[in-house]
């Protein structure tokens, strides 16, 4: 079971306060503030899911170091294992890693003028996802009772989700002129 504490939410909100004040001073549109609020909620959710879960299963928390696999650098190894041996995890593990990064691919080109091409979005999502996996590995090594695995397949799936989000952004921008509405 995963729960989220109040502590990290307050930290994230405190980090966003300078950005909020800056945007208010620049007299951005209400549409921009609404989209930015959506982005803030997404980041709080993302940080909560990726870094602050609380597991109640004793078998997961109290393991011996010999049974833990901290790092998987073999591409598609975990994905193939899930499909072959435990298809019930397809939705939570495979689709979950894709879906959780779709908003990132959507929001990046909205808030960064440098991320307007698929290639730039790919690099940005790849760097963000890789950073997250490295932080999870470091947390595993520091906090011996963690259950996270640094997995190349997570990066592959996260980047796939980010690319889906970028494609959705392109369609939405074409139909709804998101960039035009944000600049008003």
Q: What is the pLDDT of residue 64?
A: 45
Domain boundaries, the chain: 1-54, 63-177
Contacts of 156 (CB under 8 A, 6+ apart): 75, 76, 79
pLDDT at 29: 76
> Can you give the pLDDT at residue 18?
79
Q: Are 65 and 143 in contact (CB under 8 A)?
A: no
Give the burial class of 69: count Cβ atoms within 10 A of its Cβ; 0-12 exposed, 13-18 middle, 19 or more buried: exposed
- Cα separation, 178 vs 176, whole angstroms: 6
Average per-residue pLDDT for the chain: 81
Helix (H, G, I), strand (E, B), or coil: what is residue 3?
coil
pLDDT per residue, tens digit, the chain (184 aa), is: 334 566 666 777 777 777 777 767 777 777 887 888 889 889 888 887 887 654 444 554 444 454 356 688 999 999 999 999 988 888 889 999 999 999 999 999 998 989 999 999 999 999 999 999 998 888 777 765 556 778 999 999 999 999 999 999 999 999 988 877 776 5
What global pTM score does this model have?
A: 0.81
Taking a C-beta distance cutoff of 8 angstroms, is the pair 159, 130 a contact? no
């Amino acid at each position: 079971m995963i729960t989220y504490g109040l502590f990290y939410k307050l930290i994230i909100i405190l980090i966003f306060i300078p950005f909020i004040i800056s945007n208010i001073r620049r007299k951005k549109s209400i549409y921009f503030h609404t989209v930015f609020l959506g982005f803030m909620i997404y980041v709080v959710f993302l940080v909560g899911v990726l870094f602050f879960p609380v597991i109640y299963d004793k078998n997961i928390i109290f393991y011996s170091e010999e049974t833990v696999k901290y790092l998987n650098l073999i591409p598609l190894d975990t994905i193939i294992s899930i499909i072959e041996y435990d298809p019930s995890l397809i939705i939570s593990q495979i689709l979950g890693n894709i879906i959780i990064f779709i908003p990132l691919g959507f929001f990046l080109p909205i808030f960064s003028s440098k991320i307007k091409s698929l290639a730039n979005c790919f690099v940005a999502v790849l760097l963000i996802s890789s950073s997250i996996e490295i932080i999870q590995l470091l947390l595993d090594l520091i906090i011996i009772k963690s259950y996270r695995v640094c997995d190349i397949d997570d990066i592959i799936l996260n980047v796939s989700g980010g690319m889906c989000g970028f494609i959705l952004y392109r369609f939405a921008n074409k139909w709804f002129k998101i960039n035009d509405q944000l600049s008003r």
